[in-house]
Structures are given as C-alpha cells and as structure tokens.
Amino acid sequence: MKKLVSLFLILTMILSCTAALAAEDGKITIWTWDPNFNIAAMNVAKEMYNKDHPDVEIIIEEVLSEDVETRVITAASAGDISNLPDIMLIQDNSAQKFILSYPEVYADITGKYDFTDFAEGKLAYSIVDGKNYGVPFDAGTTVGTYRTDYLEAAGYTIDDMTDIDWDRFLEIGRDVKAKTGMPMLSAQAGAVDTVLIMMQSCGASMFNEDGSVNFTNSDVCKTVLEYYKTMVQEGILIEVNTWDEYCGTLSNGSVVGTINGCWILGTIMGVEDQSGKWALTNIPKLPGIETATNYSNNGGSSWVFTNGTDIDLALDFMQAYRNVDFYNEILPTTSAIATWAPAKEGSNYTAGNDFYSGDAIFAKIVDYTAKVPANQTGAFYYDAREALGTALTNYINGADLESELANAEDTVNFAMGF
C-alpha cells in the first residue's frame, strides 16, 4: 500500500513536472473575428482551460475573416508561416479551398481529436482526402422562421409550415400574399444563398464527386433555379440590393419570415419589440427528388491549426468543444449553436425561449443539424458560387436557363484550368 502511494506520488510529481515544463512555453494564439460571437466563445473556453492550466497563456486576437485569409495567403506565398497563430477560425465554405491550396499551412489532426457525435455534414467542410483538419465551431443549420401574427392573419400556423415541400410553400405563399400583401421571404439580389440551401437540402452541390463542376447536368440545380424564379416573379420572395436591406426587411416586418442559417436568429432576436411574434421550424424540401430532406446548411465556421505549432496543446485546449457546460455557457451570450449532439442536453438548450414563445428552439436546431446532408465545397467553391449568381441574375431577367448554366459551367471550367 505504502509502495503504491509512493508510486502514485512519484507519478504525480513527474506529471506535474512535465506539465510545468510544457507550461514554460505554453502559449496559444488564436485569430478570430466577432467580439459578440466567436471571440466571446473563445474567452469562455480560455477561462475554463486556465482554471485547470493557469500557466498556459492564451491570446485571442481580433482579426477579420477576410484578413485571416489574406494573411494566410501572403504568409504562405512568402514561405514564412511563423507569424501565423496556433489556431484560427475559418469560414466553412473556404476551408477546403485553403487546405487544398496551402497544405503546408494546416495541420492534419486526424486521430488526435475525438470527432464522435459531431454532425457529419458539419465535419465534411474541413475534411480533405479523408483527413480531418478542423474542429467545428458554430452550426449554420438552416431554419425556416416566420412571424406567427402574419401567418395567422392568412389562416396558417407554424405547423402548416413544418415538413412541407416547396409546392406547398408556394401555395401558402400565394395565399398569404393575396390575403396580406406580404412576401414570404426576402433575399439579396445576385446572392445564391437560398439556391444553395435548397440544393444542399438534397445532398447536392455545385460539383460532381470528382470535383468537376455540375450545373447543366444537375436536375436539382435546374429545379431549384426554376422554383426560385417563380417565387421572385410572383412576389413570394422579394430581392433587395444589400445585406443591410435584407436585415431591414426582417427588423421592420416587411416580410413574413426567412430561410437562412440559424445565426440569423441573432439579428431577429435583436429586435426586442417583436418578442413572442416568431416561430421556428425546418425548411421545405424539394418535391420529386429522391434525396430531398427538410434540412440544410448555410455558413458556419471551424477552427483550424497551423503546422509546426504545439498541436497537442492546442487540441487539449480545444477539448472545450466536447463539453456540454461550455456550449451551455456560450449559448445565451453568443447564440452560437453546437454541432456536437450531446450539447442539446444543456439547460440553456432545453429551456424554452421567450422570444420564440417558449419553444426550445436551440435543442431543435441541434437535432436538425444532425440531419443535414453533407455537401462538397472544394477549392473552386467561390468561383462556382459567383458564376451561379451571374446565371441566376440573368435567368431572372429573362435569359435562357440552359445557356446561362452552360455559360456558368464554362466560367468555372476556365478558372479550373489554371
């Protein structure tokens, strides 16, 4: 017994020694950008970690998302990545592009972190060639959220909007428009967010498995564009010029609702006098498509790690992202919703939300997240996205769909042949 105790003592001494040694240069630098969102989340993680590891210095620097990208590009191209931080946040849609273009910058963390219970669709964004490069941060899970007072005025409830398809959505939209004069949705002109949401809900993306672009041969893509145009033409979806205007339509109540990534709730719940007037559900699915679901994703971001830094320390710190208490604590202040399923057990997730008339919307969203089909982004995501946007704009203005899609495909192929 005595021996056992002394062994234990020696072991703890050795452990604490190595811990002390590690603490000597225990420093983690993080680049991230939103003080009310991901910075706030990282601050909570920092506090939690420093409680057990007071010697590890954690520096959180505010760097705009575009600036993170610009700095990575310039640093990698100059062959000097020594100034990059240990951990940086990256937009999910950019992740594969950056990992493919600058493989020497990002550390492969496969097998070094436990990814069980993270939503598959979310993880896919930062997986390249079957290897994990990122730890998920927030969900971009899409929600359909509508003003109940407007729906009621036309004789509908939120249940009428749940688990429906786009044909039914159009019917309701026409009826609501006729009765109240209100459009159902708004979107930024030229932005393809809504279109891509609809595509991903079928597990479709702008690319084939082999990475080649897929517009002209994609029935999903064509169907989606047709539905979108119909909605615009019938005034069920109104197009506005800018993001500010889009937010304006929500806050001043000139549309019934919106279909977007769940992060839009921050904007909606920011208008306090509309409390109790909103309800939330899943999104319509595409009729006639076998793989169609009522779930999709738009936006979101993940943490990635720089090669050559102390990855083990960084990943140890990142254990917060597998911690119910962490997600529970950041939820009320940041509205960042977990993509790690067990998080929905947290008290803040299961509690009813006052703004949403007591509905436990956050637990609901974590459930949706698990059902989002994975999609392919690849290195040419933004090229394809822009080309599709051009095609969409021209198509709405009366151009032929087939030839516009062929043009868009040409544009992306052109970019690919570099």
Partner 1 sequence: MREGAFSKHASRFVMYAFLIFVSLMSVFPLYWAFISAFNNTQQILGGRMIPSTHLIENLTNLFAQQDVWRAMKNSFATSLLQVVLSLAVSSIAGYGFEIYHDKYKDGVMSVIMLAMMVPFVAVLVPLFQLFSKLGLLNSWIGFFLPSLATPFLIMYFRNSARSFPKDTIEAARIDGLNEFQIFVKMFVPMMKPTYASAATITFMNAWNSYLWPKVIMQTSEATTMPMLVSNLMAGYVIDYGVVMAGVTLCSLPTIIIFFLLQKSFTNAVAGAVK
Partner 2 sequence: MTQATPASKKKRFWTMERKQSAAGWCFLTPAALLIVIFSFWPMIQAFLTSLKRGLPTRLTYCEPLWRNYERMLSDKVFIQSVTNTFTYLIIQVPIMLVLAIIFASLLNNKDLKFRGLFRTCIFLPCATGLVAYSMIFRTLFTYDGMVNAVLLGSGILSEPINWLNEPFYAKVVIIIGLIWRWTGYNMVFFLSGMQGIEYSIYEAARIDGANQFQQLTKITIPLLRPIILVTSIMSINGTLQLFDESVNLTRGGPANMTITMSHYIYNTMFTKNPNFGYAAAMSFVILIMVAVLSAIQMKVGDKR
Residues that bind partner 2 (CB under 8 A): 66, 69-70, 73, 76-77, 79, 97, 101-102, 104, 189-190, 239-242, 244-245, 379-380, 382-383, 386, 389-390, 393-394, 407, 411, 414-416, 418
The single residue among 62, 219, 345, 400 that binds partner 1, judged by CB under 8 A, is 62
Burial of 255 (0-12, 13-18, 19+ CB in 10 A): buried
Burial of 3 (0-12, 13-18, 19+ CB in 10 A): exposed
The H-assigned helical ranges of 102-206 are 120-123, 148-153, 166-180, 193-200
418 binds partner 1 (CB under 8 A): no
The least distance separating partner 2 from the CB of residue 102, rounded to whole angstroms, comes to 6
217 binds partner 1 (CB under 8 A): no
Rule CB under 8 A: which of 347-366 touch partner 1? none
In sequence order, the 6+-apart residues with CB closer than 8 A to the CB of 394 are 404
Query: Which amino acid type is present at position 400?
Result: D
The least distance separating partner 2 from the CB of residue 400, rounded to whole angstroms, comes to 15
224 φψ region: left (φ > 0), alpha (ψ -120 to 50), beta (else): alpha
Backbone angles phi, psi at 369, to 5 degrees: -55, -40
Helices (H) and strands (E) in the chain, counts: 17, 12
Rounded to whole angstroms, the Cα distance separating 128 from 377 reads 10
288 makes contact, choosing from partner 1, partner 2, none, with CB < 5 to 8 Å by partner type, with: none
Return the number of the residue (218 or 306) whose C-beta is nearest partner 1.
Answer: 306
289 makes contact, choosing from partner 1, partner 2, none, with CB < 5 to 8 Å by partner type, with: none
The least distance separating partner 1 from the CB of residue 227, rounded to whole angstroms, comes to 26
73 binds partner 1 (CB under 8 A): yes
103 φψ region: left (φ > 0), alpha (ψ -120 to 50), beta (else): alpha
**Residue 79 in tokens:** 């062959």
Return the number of the residue (193 or 316) whose C-beta is nearest partner 2.
Answer: 193
DSSP letter assigned to residue 118: B
Strand partners, 278: 147
The single residue among 263, 321, 340, 368 that binds partner 1, judged by CB under 8 A, is 263
**Residue 385 in tokens:** 């996205």
Return the number of the residue (235 or 287) whose C-beta is nearest partner 2.
Answer: 235
The least distance separating partner 1 from the CB of residue 216, rounded to whole angstroms, comes to 33
36 makes contact, choosing from partner 1, partner 2, none, with CB < 5 to 8 Å by partner type, with: partner 1
175 binds partner 1 (CB under 8 A): no
How many residues form the binding site for partner 1 (CB under 8 A)?
Answer: 34
Return the number of the residue (34 or 410) whose C-beta is nearest partner 1.
Answer: 34
The single residue among 16, 18, 233, 251 that binds partner 1, judged by CB under 8 A, is 251
**Residue 121 in tokens:** 């669709």
189 makes contact, choosing from partner 2, partner 1, none, with CB < 5 to 8 Å by partner type, with: partner 2
**Residue 290 in tokens:** 């076998």
Rounded to whole angstroms, the Cα distance separating 200 from 174 reads 25
Q: x/- site string to partner 1, residues 135 to 164, per CB under 8 A?
A: ------------------------------
80 makes contact, choosing from partner 2, partner 1, none, with CB < 5 to 8 Å by partner type, with: partner 1
61 makes contact, choosing from partner 2, partner 1, none, with CB < 5 to 8 Å by partner type, with: partner 1
270 binds partner 1 (CB under 8 A): yes
Burial of 183 (0-12, 13-18, 19+ CB in 10 A): buried
108 C-beta neighbours (distance < 10 Å), count: 16
Return the number of the residue (293 or 298) whose C-beta is nearest partner 1.
Answer: 298
168 C-beta neighbours (distance < 10 Å), count: 15
Return the number of the residue (8 or 243) whose C-beta is nearest partner 2.
Answer: 243
The least distance separating partner 2 from the CB of residue 96, rounded to whole angstroms, comes to 10
DSSP letter assigned to residue 354: T
The least distance separating partner 1 from the CB of residue 75, rounded to whole angstroms, comes to 8
Rounded to whole angstroms, the Cα distance separating 125 from 134 reads 8
Q: Which residues bind partner 1 (CB under 8 A)?
A: 33-37, 61-65, 67, 70-71, 73-75, 77-80, 83, 244-245, 247-248, 251-252, 263-264, 266-267, 270-271, 299
